[in-house]
Amino acid sequence: MIRIITFLALYSYLTPEPVYALQSHGEPEGLFAHQIAHILFSVSMIFLAYWLKSNNFTRERGWRLIQISCILFFIWNLVAFCGHYVEVKLPSKLIEGTGSGWDQALLLSGSPYSLYYYFLKMDHLICVPALACLFLGLRNLYKKTLMKVAADK
Amino acid sequence: MTGYYSLAPVWISDVVGSALMLIISFGAIYYAHRLRNAEPSSIIWMYLLVLSAALAGFSISRAVAHLAKHAMLMAGYPHMWEFFRPYTGAFNSIAFIVVASVTFFFPKVQKINSEILNDKRALEQATRDIKALNRDLEALVERRTRQLSVSERKYRGIFEGSMDTIFVLNQKFIFEDINPTGLSLLGYDSLEDFIGKISLADIFVSNSDHTQFLEDISRSGAIKDMECRIRNSSGAELVVLLSVTVTTKDLSRRTNYVGIAKDITVRRRMEKQLHQADRLASLGQTAAGVAHELNTPLGIILGYTQLLLRNCQESDALHSDLKIIEKQTNNCKRIVQDLLKFARNSETKKSDVDLIECFKEAISLFGHQFEKEGVIVETRFENNLPKVFADGEKLKQVLVNLLVNAKQAISGNGLIIVTMKLNPDRRAVIVSISDNGCGMSTDTVEKIFDPFFTTKPVGVGTGLGLSVSYGIIQAHGGALEVESEEGVGSTFHITLPLTDQNHQNIYPDNPQ
């Protein structure tokens, strides 16, 4: 074994070739990383929802609300994932006007993705309820915990 | 749907949604933080705080970025948004990864934390249990100690208060412990003089008892009610019933012996006296019968002898023969009278008798003879001795008999001590006559009151003196007892009961 390693080391040293230590990262990598993060986020939320259910946490209202929040975040992640995908696919010329969107318009007939893009861009309609459910769930748990702590005292 | 559609709804949802996310995410952080503070040890609240913080970070990044984007675009600085956009996107990605990582790891951490908490609770419970057990143990030990103390006091009380002797012997039969009754019985003042110094062999009178004891204890491991004679420190013999048991610490080693000795000396003496009294009563009845039967023919013989003597001259040869017949007949009659006295069938003339005067009259008969032969008579009379209701002459006869016997027991110089004292408990006067003569053996003492029993040479005595004395004292409701030790001397005790009147003369305030 030592002989083989020694041989390979000598061979590598005596026959040098160009190496590429640093890999270049093009523009799509950022989007891919973000999309993968969305996938991880969504999976983790489904996992949490399942874990809460399987460990009987959802008997309490607070945890039930958090479970709903998980499901909504899961859906939001799917929406965001699709939104990002559609945004890439949608030609920019289909959006008329400049600015932040208030005075912009979308040509729906310009691409099969136009309609999806229109609705998927309104992901806050899912994201905000998800966060609200988390908030309500935490508030409920806090109140119950306060009562429990008071009862223990 | 072929024309342009305004993106204003998208814009509105983006702006309003971003603002709401900012507000709600901070609300979530607030409650997660409060939850964490309420139960700092809870890993779940910690997780929710981290989750809320990551989501809040994402919300800030996203909401601020979106709001800034709209502001920058509306203000005509799209290049600024292009500058910030990668940062917000990257931060959002990181926030997602953080949320996902924390969520994936949380169940495992929660499980470990739960196990730790369970172990902690179990440890706390065990600590509480141990404390409770310790507390209970202390109480248990205290209770057991109290019970032991009560038990010890109880058994110590039995040991100390027992009227029988209780003792413990070691393997070599040396006394290890003895109760006060036993110590007193054996005549020792303190345990120090006794414990570890005296063995059972030291107190046995006879070797046969000792041998029998050792044989029985080695054979059966216990002895029950073995009657044996022991000797106390002053040399007095005692009769005891001995029960001994072997006590063992383990199955094989004998360590010591526990025993009880019941003193039956008095009982045995009483039984002996009762037996003797019965025997003497039986003898008395026989003697009385014989005496009555002999008295009449003796009277006739004496009568006819005296009639013949009246018609016979002194010079006549027959006269001296008749005189011999008369003398011997009179001797026979005296013996018959003595037998009747022994059998308590003779007449008594009772009156209040001063025993001291009675004694003086008795001693006056041969006091000078005693002095001449070197026998000193010492008197120890209690003051104010009451008179007794008795036949003075017969009491004098008893005293003379006992004094003569005492004198005869002393060969050469000697001492006779006459004691008279009142025994208030028995309501009697005790007269004791002691001598330092040759004493008597046990066998002799048992027969001393039998009629015609004598240790004197033939012709010196008839053997009726003590029998007559015994009969006289019995006839007065009293008792005549003897203590004797061979080579040491003898003591005769006369107990004469007091009448109520005599007793009242002494104790006028307390006649009973």
For residue A135, give the chain B residue with the closest CA. B28
Q: Does residue A26 register a pLDDT over 70? A: no
Tell me how far apart the alpha carbons of residues A52 and A73 are, in angstroms, rounded to a whole number: 15
Using the Cβ of A34 and the Cβ atoms of chain B, whether some distance falls under 8 Å is answered with yes
Q: Which of A16-30, A80-94, B142-156 bottoms out in mean pLDDT, i.e. has the lowest?
A: A16-30
Query: Does A40 sit within 8 Å of B74, measured CB to CB?
Result: no
Q: How confident is the model at residue B404 (pLDDT cuts 50, 70, 90)?
A: confident
Q: How far apart are CA B109 and CA B112, in angstroms?
A: 5
**Identity of the residue numbered B116:** I
- Would you mind telling me the total number of residues written for chain B in this entry? 512
Residue A153 to residue A148: CA distance in whole angstroms: 9
**In which band, very low, low, confident or very high, does the pLDDT at B511 lie, cut at 50, 70 and 90?**
very low
Chain-chain contact of B14 with A134 (C-beta, under 8 angstroms): no
The answer to whether residue A101 scores a pLDDT higher than 80 is no
Which chain A residue lies closest to B25 (C-alpha atoms)?
A131
For residue B8, give the nearest of A66, A102, A132 by CB distance.
A102
Token digits for B83? 């500058």
Give exposure, B227-258, as e/b (b: 16+ Cβ within 10 Å).
ebebbeeeeeebbbbbbbebeeeeeeeeebbb
What would the pLDDT profile of B379-390 be if each residue is shown by its tens digit?
999 888 888 889
Q: Is the pLDDT of residue B252 over 60?
A: no
Give B92 to chain A, closest Cα distance, Å: 8
Whole-angstrom CA distances from A55 to A63, A140, B50, B464, B469 are 11, 19, 20, 120, 116
State chain B's mean pLDDT as an integer. 85
Q: Could you tell me the two tokens for B228?
A: 């044996």
Residue whose tokens read 């006296």: B273
Q: A96 and B4 in contact (C-beta within 8 Å)?
A: yes
Model confidence band, residue A25 (pLDDT cutoffs 50, 70, 90): low
Q: Say whether B96 and A40 touch across the interface (CB within 8 A).
A: yes
The residue type of B512 is Q
Q: What does the pLDDT read at residue B512?
A: 44
Q: Do A134 and B55 touch (CB under 8 A)?
A: yes
Task: Please tell me the predicted confidence (pLDDT) of residue A98.
Answer: 64
Nearest CA in chain B to A134: B28
Lowest mean pLDDT among A4-8, A98-102, B197-201: A98-102
Tokens for A73, please give them: 């975040």
Of A63-72, B182-191, B474-483, give the range with the top mean pLDDT.
A63-72
* B370-388 b/e (C-beta count within 10 Å ≥ 16 → b): beeeebebeeeeeeebbbb
> DSSP string of A125-145?
HHHHHHHHHHHHHHHHHHHHH
**Closest listed residue to residue A131, CA positions, set A121, A139, A143:** A139
Beta partners for B247?
B256
Question: Has residue B429 got a pLDDT over 50?
Answer: yes
Compute the half-sphere exposure of residue B484: CA atoms within 13 Å on the CB side of its CA. 22
Q: Tell me the pLDDT tens digit for each residue of B19-50.
A: 999 899 999 999 999 999 988 888 889 889 99
Query: pLDDT, tens digit, for every residue of B345-370?
Result: 667 788 888 989 888 888 887 778 88
Q: Which pLDDT band, with edges at 50, 70 and 90, does B295 fall under?
A: confident
ipTM above 0.85, yes or no: no
Average pLDDT over residues B238-256: 78
- State the smallest CA–CA distance between residue B134 and chain A in angstroms: 27
Which spans in B239-387 are helix H? 265-310, 317-342, 355-372
Interface residue A132 vs chain B (CB under 8 A): yes
Contact B20 A51 (CB under 8 A): no
Q: Give me the long-range contacts of A147-153 (CB less than 8 A, separation at least 24).
A: A149/B38, A149/B39
Contacting residues of B for A99, CB less than 8 Å apart: 73-74
